[in-house]
Amino acid sequence: MLLLFVDGLGLGGTLEESFPLLLALRPSPLDATLGVEGLPQSGTGQTALLTGVNAAGLLGRHQGPYPAPSLRPLLRQSLYAWARAQGFPVLHANGYREAYLEQALSPRRLRLSAFALAAHLAGLPLLPLGHPLALSPGFWEDPRGEGRKAARLAQAFPLVVLEYWALDLAAHRAPETLPQRFQELGAFVESFLEAGGELVLVSDHGNAEEPWHPHHTRNPVPLVYTSPAPPPPGDLPGFLPWLQAIITSKC
């Protein structure tokens, strides 16, 4: 199974024309607001997905892009830690530039996304780009080839996680490139599914679906699962127990 986390993708806006494949997969909407005023952010949204805890409610605010130090104890009990404790091999497949890892893993900085930090705290390696098990997190020259590689990895591991952050980056900094990012993401997903891959796709907050501004949105975010599953949750904290039930039933 591949858990494809797509940073910054809400439902609504221009998705019908920019990412029709997603809508063809009939996504379920998840509430990303967490009952907190303001615009949802990556640090608390991703932490809620990974831990089943309303991180924004705990802090009393949305927080990002990196999870606050006070959220690290939660992230020690993440999806990754649970999978390892259950004996399920899990791969955090993102490839990183070695120079980035050197800086990001500095004890004084530890500036990692919630997904990367949770993997690191669970004792999983953060792979350098070019590693045989690593996938690039976007800007793919050959998205269909990357999708086929992801399918091979998903057949070798009960759970493979890929954090695709290129869409959110484009929405913030270069909205004129969003059509290209949606096209590459669609080609990746299509190729992955054609290769027989089993896909879970989820996001943390809206952004790229409204390309006319560079800000996050309060739109619901999509949850897609391409196999029969229990009823979907209604919000981000419900995602972890829902996914745990699916993985447990398969392993």
Average confidence score pLDDT of the chain:
95
107 has a pLDDT exceeding 80: no
CB neighbours of 34 closer than 8 A, spacing ≥ 6?
Answer: 40, 44, 45, 48, 54, 55, 56, 57, 62, 235, 236, 237
- Residue 57 has phi, psi (to 5 degrees) of -65, -40
Read off the pLDDT of residues 151-185 as tens digits, 9 standing for 90 and up: 999 999 999 999 999 999 999 999 999 999 999 99
Residue 177 has what pLDDT? 95
Average pLDDT for residues 72-85, to the nearest whole number?
97
Range name among 30-44, 51-65, 109-123, 189-203 with the lowest pLDDT average: 109-123
CB neighbours of 207 closer than 8 A, spacing ≥ 6?
Answer: 7, 8, 9, 10, 167, 168, 171, 172, 215, 216, 217
- Which one-letter DSSP state was computed for residue 217? B
Beta-sheet strands, E only, within the chain: 2-6, 28-30, 90-92, 95-96, 127-128, 159-164, 199-202, 221-225
**Residue from 98, 102, 38, 95 nearest 64 by CA:** 38
22 has a pLDDT exceeding 90: yes
Q: 28 - beta bridge partners?
A: 223
CB neighbours of 100 closer than 8 A, spacing ≥ 6?
Answer: none
User: Residue 68 sits in which domain range?
Assistant: 2-250
**Residue from 92, 94, 65, 66 nearest 81 by CA:** 92
137 has a pLDDT exceeding 90: no
Higher-confidence residue: 166 or 111? 166
247 has a pLDDT exceeding 90: yes
Q: How many domains does the chain have?
A: 1
Query: What's the rounded Cα separation, in Å, for the pair 9 and 49?
Result: 14
Start-to-end Cα distance in the chain: 11
**Confidence bin at 102 (pLDDT 50/70/90):** confident
- Which one-letter DSSP state was computed for residue 77? T
**Confidence bin at 11 (pLDDT 50/70/90):** very high
**CATH number for the domain harbouring residue 162:** 3.40.720.10
Residue 103 has what pLDDT? 82
**Confidence bin at 106 (pLDDT 50/70/90):** confident
**Confidence bin at 124 (pLDDT 50/70/90):** very high
Residue 218 has what pLDDT? 98
> What DSSP assignment string belongs to 139-202?
--SSHHHHHHHHHHHHHHSSEEEEEE-HHHHHHHH-GGGHHHHHHHHHHHHHHHHHTT--EEEE
